[in-house]
Amino acid sequence: MANSTTAQAPEVFATDSPEVFTEAGHGGAGVHAEPELWGLAPFQVVSVSMLVLFAIALFIGKAHKGIAGGLDSKIAAIKEQLEEAKELRAEAEALRKEYADKIASAEKDAEAMLVKAQAEADSLLEKAEADTKDMVERRKRMAEDKIAAAEREAVQDVRNRAVSAATGASRKLIAEKHDAEADKALTDTVIAGI
């Protein structure tokens, strides 16, 4: 049975040993073959990998610096814009305060002008009332003076008419009642009185 199992055993369990590479100079000991990648030994592959890694790190470092520099410039530009915005806001606040002060001053000026105008209007009204009273008094005096003058004229006219009427009546009476003898007696009386 042992023979039958040996005949059926897989080749893996074969008793023949595989071929081992041996190098001369190592005392006849077997040396394993080292793996190769593109014809390079493992230490060379590791060296090339390290160089590639350093090159990538260097590139990423420079790219990082470029990216950081770009971001720093953007940050600086944004800070500058923020400073400009703060300055503009401060200027706007100053202008707002200035215009608020101007508006308050204008309102005070308007109130003062209104008070002054009211005082001037009151003064003009008082003066107009006083002037009107004076004018009424003057016109009243003028009217009274005219009335008095008219009365005097009327009285004088009445007197003149009365004198004229009396003189006319006297003449008429004298002419009717006097004759030459009465004139002579009257003349003698007047001369004797002188």
pLDDT of residue 12: 47
- By percentage, how much of the chain surpasses pLDDT 90? 27
Domains of the chain, residue spans: 43-193
User: If you ran DSSP here, which 8-state letter would residue 55 be given?
Assistant: H
Residue appearing with tokens 């006297």 = 170
Cβ(25)–Cβ(33) under 8 Å?
Answer: no
Q: How many residues does the chain have?
A: 194
124-181: per-residue pLDDT in tens? Answer: 999 989 988 998 999 889 989 989 888 888 888 888 888 888 888 877 877 777 677 7
Position 20 confidence tier, pLDDT thresholds 50, 70, 90: very low
CB of 45 closer than 8 Å to CB of 37: yes
Residue 97 has pLDDT above 60, yes or no: yes
Contact 43, 35 (CB under 8 A): no
Q: What is the pLDDT of residue 164?
A: 84
Mean pLDDT of the chain: 79
* pLDDT > 70 in the chain, percent: 78
pLDDT of residue 29: 56
Task: Show contacts of 167-173: CB within 8 Å, 24+ apart.
Answer: none
- The answer to whether 21 and 31 are in contact (CB under 8 A) is yes
Residue 43 and residue 139: Cα distance in Å, rounded? 138
What does the alpha-carbon distance between residue 172 and residue 187 come to, in Å, rounded to a whole number?
Answer: 19
Instruction: List 22's β-bridge partners, or say none.
Output: 30
Residue 60 pLDDT > 80: no
